[in-house]
Structure 1
Amino acid sequence: MSPLPPLLSRWFAAKGWELQPHQQTMLASADRPSTLLIAPTGGGKTLAGFLPSLCELGENPPAGLHTLYISPLKALTADIRRNLRRPIEGAGLAIRVEDRTSDTAATARKRQRVDPPHILLTTPESLALLLSYEDSSKIFAGLQRVIVDEIHALAESKRGDQLSLLLTRLQSLAPSLRRVGLSATVEDPPALARFLGCNTQILNADPGPDPDISMLETPQAPPWAGAGGRYAIPEILNLIKAHRTTLIFHNTRAQAELFFHALWLSNIDTLPIGIHHGSLSREQRERVEAAMVAGELRAVVCTGSLDLGIDWGDVDLVVQVGAPKNVKRLVQRIGRANHRYNTPSKAFIVPANRFEVIECKAALDAVKAHNLDGEPRGAGPLDVLCQHILIHACAGAFDAVALYEQVITAGPYRHLLWDDFLKALDFVANGGYALRAYDRWQRLKQTNGLWHLRDPRSAALIRQNLGTIVDTEMLKVRFRSRGQALGEIEESFASSLTPGDTFLFAGQIVRYEGLNEMTVEVSRSTATDPKVAVYGGSKFSTSTLLADRILQILQQASWPDLPQHTADWLRLQAEVSRLPNRDTLLLESFPHDGREHLCIYGFAGRNAQQTLGLLVTKQMENQGLNPLGFVATDYATLIWGLSPVTDHAPLFAAKTLREGLENWLQSNALMKRTFRAVALVAGLTERSNQGRRKTGRQATFSSDILYDTLRRYDPEHLLLQVTRDEAMRGLIDFSRIEEMLTRVQGRIELRRLPRVTPLAAPLFLEPGKIPIQGQAREKLADSAAEALMKAAGLE
């Protein structure tokens, strides 16, 4: 007997559909307080999440909000609304479904507060705004169910930390609220269940068949360096012709743009091909999405904007260009193909360079072993908690003890200490010790034991600045002499430049002259060794799981599963030096082109390897070894200078490295950039005021002054502590350096070799070389002057 009500049951029968076992289990578990459903892409998990709501609402649903659906993407809410219409309209149910995102018209948002639909589809940011209103208790009083889709994607960021706090607020307004989490890729189900809420039941659907995934074979070997994968375009075009619809994933927007351009130039058959990524306008994205749904495109070049569960028409192939860096990301993308239950997804992975052949093989092995990666998130950050306190204050007066008890029911904050909560409350109330004398940060006051806004009018400004996503500011690039515009670069990259630095942009090398208002002024340069502009998200670090698998591959006696060119490369490295392993840190020292080089094979990920380069070159400078610069990849750091390294011990002492890091952090621009993001989330600074959004320069100027002030007068300020924690586990990733040093337990082998080794050679082709300004530069200048005088006969 069907558990569905008659109208829905008849509609399913007319479609010839039957409930899948996990959908039936979800209906049977409808009354449980919290459920996490893990089901494969195409397995109908979203419908499984909504079926209890459709059944409870029935043919004559009562007025008021019954179900809240939360997704990480605005596009996903629109897609879900379209998909829900089918059973609701097909079965003749009188259920209203609406979405509420930043794209929703203001009139509709206003009406929804007075007359909410039965099912509301939204994002964490829009939910935070709704909960900040004084009438939020009325809006959510009758809420029965909340569905969090793609919960794994939210749980990995501050958006997830904020959502966990918002769920506790919803639970306080609607005590009978039941929570549902939906995900296809989960490496640690118990951890994700704790994130969703206490006493969460985990339901695992049949995972279905393994994906049909392999590395794309090409007659041309991948290049030694680079990340574009454009060498494989002829083979990828053949794949597009042989399939109905192909998604071609890239890790960055810049790579997607470059690949799309090259693909289009090679598309002599004029196949309809589109591009989709987050920097495109909403109208452009929607046009591509509509064309996909209508089956009008043969391929779409895309990025993470299509990672998550949008149902894309008739996609039957996924191509991942470049190593995915993360197994979960690869599995999620593979699932976009053959978006049907019990139908294997078909995918090819295309290494962008020679080393990525090994990384792609490691990723394929992990997928086949159902081995997903994931880094632990740690405790919920306090800047997000500060914003949550502000949200509460906007909605009305609150009791501190009651709010604390509510907050610690959120998974990421379950171990939050009362003293840390009071620090956050004190900051929100008056800015903390160094700022309490300024009226601007006097935001809360306590009356009769309850905390509330000092000035109710400030609620409007607080609402304008809610959210944990900190936008990347872009700056125009122009030639100083002619004012000709070249394009845009990230403000964070511009902040790392000093006058005289060179970088590659718009196909040419330019020299940074200075910043004029919001414009980066440059001149032409004849330099041959430039810096390279780095776009947001373009430097994913390889996960620890993949790094370990790569090291396992390197330690094999032979490599029959690798292409012959890669196996020969590794074999030559073993003959000339040796291959890295997990238990010993391999260092290679060799001369090349008049410079001495040190290669560090740490396999700690790009961010950690870059930090290692900064710290080791600083120690080399202190010891008079005259480093000139370095470059880092996910697996190694290459340093060059004037003197050979003969004793590695002073360079790699854990205590020395940590002390060097502490000193470097004190004056580094990275800390100011990190502080700026923390200050925006915590509400210390503003993104916009009265509808006018601040420029990046205005926000940076304001936060830099605050950072310097707090460092001088209140070095233990809450936001400085948060900033340090963020920097350490973010762009610096020092924990992976410490993990590497702990793993090798002092087993560091330095090999002195007569020339460049096979494994080190590709590093010379890597962009992003970082120069070291020190004594070596002065020595080179003196040598050049001496040679010039000698050539002129003036010895």
Structure 2
Amino acid sequence: MEQVQNTSVLPPAFADWFARQGWAPHPHQLALLGAAGDSLLIAPTGGGKTLAGFLPSLVELADGWQGLHTVYVSPLKALTADIGRNLARPVADLGLPIRIEDRTGDTRSAARQRQRTDPPQILLTTPESLALMLSYPEAPRIFGSVRRVILDELHALSESKRGDQLMLGLARLRTLSPGLRATGLSATVEDPAALARFMGGAQVIHADPGPDPDIGMLATSRAAPWSGGGGHYAVPDVLAAVRGATTTIIFINTRAQAELFFQALWAANEDNLPIGLHHGSLSREARARVEAAMAEGRLRAVVATGSLDLGIDWGNVDLVIQVGAPKNVKRLVQRIGRANHRYNAPSVARIVPANRFEVIECVAALEAVRERDLDGDARGPGPLDVLCQHILLTACSGPFDADALYAEVVTAGPYADLSRAEFDDCLNFCATGGYALRAYDRWQRLMERGGLWGLRDPRAVRDLRMNVGTIVEAEMTKVRWKRGGGLLGEVEEAFAATLTPGDTFLTGGQVVRYESLREMSIEVTPNLSKEPKIAVFSGLKLAMSTELSHRVLALIGDPARWEALPQDTRDWLALQAEVSAVPHPGTLVAETFPHMGRWHLAVYGFAGRNALQTLGLLLTRMMETAGLGPLGFLSTDYAMLIWSVDPVTDLAPLLDRAALREGLGEWLADNAVMKRTFKNVAIVSGLIHRNVPGGRRTGKQATFSTDILYDTLRRHDPDHLLLRITATEAGRGLVDFGRIEEMLDRSPRLDHRMLDRVSPLAAPLMLEMGRVRIEGQGRMRLAEAEAEAMMAAAGLRLDGGTVLDLSDLPAPAAPAAKPADRRPRRSRPRTVPLPR
């Protein structure tokens, strides 16, 4: 750690400016000003990171500069605009002779063209726009004068392929302008040394972390329910907290849940408090209106997803409320930092768990925040599909030498260990498409001339530039008001395909009625009389991190730590310990029990939603082979539940690691997961193009094309580069098989209980299983009655209140007798070592 106390390094004009503001430069700001090489600054939200990053640039630019001096890269277009506004003040006050401009997807065409010939001194951009500019033939002239590169919110970029693309761009910038200095800025970093290596090597500078945040659970008039993910039970309490604050950001984990919670808030908002909604599927104009209202202090609250996670400075925000478990400690810290965006002022945040399991997760997350223990999975090597795109874009700027490009690429942190054979595989793919595709002209894109590689057909430049980027989202369909009205937002193409005229759905916080599909947009009219369908945004369900999973399991497994939990949650766990077993580190707890004429298997794996979803698929396949008649399954972050005709009496053989791996390979071979992953890889690598001149391919067209390519490559070129990338990504992402293996490693013993009815811990899973869309009071009352009977059988109350006192109930006489108000029968545990 380096901190410089001597303010003499600050030029007099700048020292005077600080004094006029009533400020003193922070030690970490001076440390960056005096840093000799690349730096990674880790400072709390509100700690002046942005000014620290730009201070060396402003000092160097004070005497004038011709051409581009500083490139600032952020994950969000909105953040570049915010930074531009914030920089305008010191530049104007100091009378600096510099221009500051942004270059994002929102920049007007005329400004983009001018920047290619007359770039500003400071350019604010995003990874995608930087990659696009580096593909211009003018790139050496534009970037040859660069002396500083600032990488904001680097922790957020490093967690996705956007970060890999950015590091390749940084390596390119170093080639075009040797000697430039890069500065990474971040507030939430679990492993600073690893993030510094991600930058390609950097000196780490730590700022004073500031005071601990004021965080805790929001006091609610009702206990959290046993199941569900909306948190609607707490709407009155959230509104009360909003009334007591100046401005509140209410974070929700998914877009669909944000829409629902926003609607629930409005229904209860008797005081007509001005409340906004902000998420990535709203129109750009709608988001801009909310951001402007926030900046001007005209909103009392905004319901938002991760679209407001990062460092935009909302000065009036003094409270953050997280509805639903955060799933990730770093994400929670980042969101907490949105409140009291001032150095040495504690952020105020409250958490609202959506259900009883989430109560435990929230307590574990709060403990981690207080201990400053951040989570995060280790980054693997740089993905090769991103490298393929980079090679093609490099060719767009002009011919290149393969040896020189390889030497440049391995200076990028994520690709430091890239072998020459892997690079050549990528180059061969870019040149020919690979063995099975080399006969098709459309994939013959590069050729070697005179020792240099270049585009075979210069006309390919347009298509390649139109498809820059690594973000592969679900295909979206625009939603507009009927008869030429404005844009409301977007819904997923797959959801739009389910709509028929007259259907209602929720978008932009409003219930609308689907009228027609016109010019590739959904036309709607206002509707307030029907219960809506919900626009479901897939791929956004957040899985609990590995470290947080371990914390939750450790908390549940140690009764001495239950004092941190609410009384009703403690009673729930105590009843589970009495009638079955409480999950704890080192042991995998599972239960088999009957209910409603079916057998159920609950496995408390605490391995995250994706891993337990995969485990459910694999176990049901093996149960089918064994003749047990599996009927279905569900998974949460905490557990997996399978229901079947016959019981699983011996779980150990089903958890055999070799059998699971073999089953995974067989399942993935023809599964939609692999085809979906291949589609994403094909788009990023440049095998197919989503954007084409005159329009954009629909999701169905892209899927149809990639499905044919996937089947062709599997049949004729099974070792194709893209198939290898697909297998790696499917196992690490959607399937998350590695976390299944991690679960088996940390739980070497199996405790499989045979019960005669639902256990307390399994009861919430049973409610999730029975959760269906209900229309009408009659069906709702029947469903509630059935749920109450099932919960009573587990010794619980449906209302999420106190645990029933079952001390006077007789012990079960025989397994055949199953009154609804009896507890699960105790049974001898079956404890065996798990197979290795």
The reply to whether TM is greater than 0.5 is yes
- Offset of residue 17 of structure 1: 1.3
Q: 2:415 aligns with which of 403, 413, 416?
A: 413
- Offset of residue 383 of structure 1: 0.3
Q: Secondary structure of 1:547's partner?
A: helix
Q: 2:61 aligns with which of 57, 62, 78?
A: 57
> Partners in 1 of 2:634 and 2:504 — Cα distance?
16
Aligned to 1:560: 563
> Partners in 2 of 1:768 and 1:709 — Cα distance?
41
Q: Does the C-alpha gap of structure 1 residues 13 and 519 become closer, same or farther in structure 2, counting only changes over 3 Å?
A: closer
Q: Secondary structure of 2:250's partner?
A: strand
Gaps of 5+ in 2: 1-6, 480-488, 508-516, 523-532, 773-836
1:328-382 deviation line (CA, Å, top 9, x unaligned)? 0000000011100000001101101111000000000000110000011201110
Aligned to 2:213: 211
1:644-703 deviation line (CA, Å, top 9, x unaligned)? 111212211000011000000001011111111100100000011114211111111111
Residue pairs, 1:291-302, within 5 angstroms? 291-302=293-304
Aligned to 2:543: 541
Q: Does the C-alpha gap of structure 1 residues 691 and 17 become closer, same or farther in structure 2, counting only changes over 3 Å?
A: farther
Aligned length: 735
Q: Secondary structure of 2:437's partner?
A: coil
Residue pairs, 1:775-790, within 5 angstroms? none
Aligned to 2:269: 267
- Checking the alignment, whether the CA contact within 8 Å between 1:53 and 1:67 is kept in structure 2 is yes
- Checking the alignment, whether the CA contact within 8 Å between 1:8 and 1:87 is kept in structure 2 is no
Tell me the amino acid that sits aligned with residue 426 of structure 1.
N
Whether 1:248 aligns to 2:250 is yes
Residue pairs, 1:137-536, within 5 angstroms? 137-198=140-201, 200-474=202-476, 490=492, 534-536=536-538
Aligned to 2:49: 45
Q: Does the C-alpha gap of structure 1 residues 280 and 762 become closer, same or farther in structure 2, counting only changes over 3 Å?
A: same
Tell me the amino acid that sits aligned with residue 85 of structure 1.
A
Q: Secondary structure of 1:246's partner?
A: strand
Q: Secondary structure of 2:9's partner?
A: coil
Q: Does the C-alpha gap of structure 1 residues 627 and 195 become closer, same or farther in structure 2, counting only changes over 3 Å?
A: same
1:574-593 deviation line (CA, Å, top 9, x unaligned)? 10101011211111000000
Gaps of 5+ in 1: 478-486, 498-502, 508-514, 521-530, 771-795
Aligned to 2:29: 23
Q: Secondary structure of 1:274's partner?
A: strand
- Checking the alignment, whether the CA contact within 8 Å between 1:252 and 1:537 is kept in structure 2 is no
Runs of 4+ in 1 over 4 A off after TM superposition: 491-495, 503-507, 517-520, 531-534, 767-770
Aligned to 2:527: none
> Partners in 2 of 1:506 and 1:475 — Cα distance?
14
- Offset of residue 519 of structure 1: 11
- Offset of residue 304 of structure 1: 0.4
Q: 1:599 aligns with which of 598, 602, 607?
A: 602
Whether 1:738 aligns to 2:741 is yes
- Checking the alignment, whether the CA contact within 8 Å between 1:158 and 1:468 is kept in structure 2 is yes
> Partners in 1 of 2:616 and 2:71 — Cα distance?
48
Whether 1:122 aligns to 2:125 is yes
- Offset of residue 228 of structure 1: 1.0
- Checking the alignment, whether the CA contact within 8 Å between 2:632 and 2:643 is kept in structure 1 is yes
- Offset of residue 492 of structure 1: 6.5
> Partners in 2 of 1:403 and 1:698 — Cα distance?
34
> Partners in 2 of 1:414 and 1:538 — Cα distance?
31
Whether 1:609 aligns to 2:612 is yes
Q: Secondary structure of 1:727's partner?
A: helix
Residue pairs, 1:620-635, within 5 angstroms? 620-635=623-638
- Checking the alignment, whether the CA contact within 8 Å between 1:68 and 1:145 is kept in structure 2 is yes
Whether 1:13 aligns to 2:19 is yes
- Checking the alignment, whether the CA contact within 8 Å between 2:259 and 2:506 is kept in structure 1 is no
- Offset of residue 303 of structure 1: 0.8
> Partners in 1 of 2:338 and 2:536 — Cα distance?
28
Q: Secondary structure of 2:435's partner?
A: coil
> Partners in 2 of 1:397 and 1:160 — Cα distance?
25
Tell me the amino acid that sits aligned with residue 756 of structure 2.
P
Aligned to 2:787: none
Q: Secondary structure of 2:418's partner?
A: coil
> Partners in 2 of 1:209 and 1:489 — Cα distance?
41
Q: Secondary structure of 2:85's partner?
A: helix
Aligned to 1:690: 693
- Checking the alignment, whether the CA contact within 8 Å between 1:145 and 1:179 is kept in structure 2 is yes
Tell me the amino acid that sits aligned with residue 203 of structure 1.
I
- Checking the alignment, whether the CA contact within 8 Å between 1:630 and 1:639 is kept in structure 2 is yes
- Checking the alignment, whether the CA contact within 8 Å between 2:558 and 2:584 is kept in structure 1 is no
> Partners in 1 of 2:616 and 2:263 — Cα distance?
34
Q: Does the C-alpha gap of structure 1 residues 314 and 533 become closer, same or farther in structure 2, counting only changes over 3 Å?
A: closer
Tell me the amino acid that sits aligned with residue 27 of structure 2.
P
Q: Secondary structure of 2:599's partner?
A: strand
Tell me the amino acid that sits aligned with residue 366 of structure 1.
A
Q: 2:10 aligns with which of 4, 20, 28?
A: 4
- Checking the alignment, whether the CA contact within 8 Å between 2:557 and 2:582 is kept in structure 1 is yes
1:484-543 deviation line (CA, Å, top 9, x unaligned)? xxx986457899x9xxxxx99879xxxxxxx9x9999xxxxxxxxxx9985234421111
> Partners in 2 of 1:555 and 1:491 — Cα distance?
44
Tell me the amino acid that sits aligned with residue 44 of structure 1.
G
Aligned to 1:713: 716
- Offset of residue 474 of structure 1: 3.7
Identity %: 65
Aligned to 2:778: none
Q: Does the C-alpha gap of structure 1 residues 494 and 81 become closer, same or farther in structure 2, counting only changes over 3 Å?
A: closer
1:55-74 deviation line (CA, Å, top 9, x unaligned)? 0000x412200000000000
Tell me the amino acid that sits aligned with residue 351 of structure 2.
I
- Checking the alignment, whether the CA contact within 8 Å between 1:518 and 1:697 is kept in structure 2 is no
Aligned to 1:94: 97
> Partners in 2 of 1:452 and 1:303 — Cα distance?
43
Structure 1 length-normalised TM: 0.90
Tell me the amino acid that sits aligned with residue 248 of structure 1.
I
Structure 2 length-normalised TM: 0.85
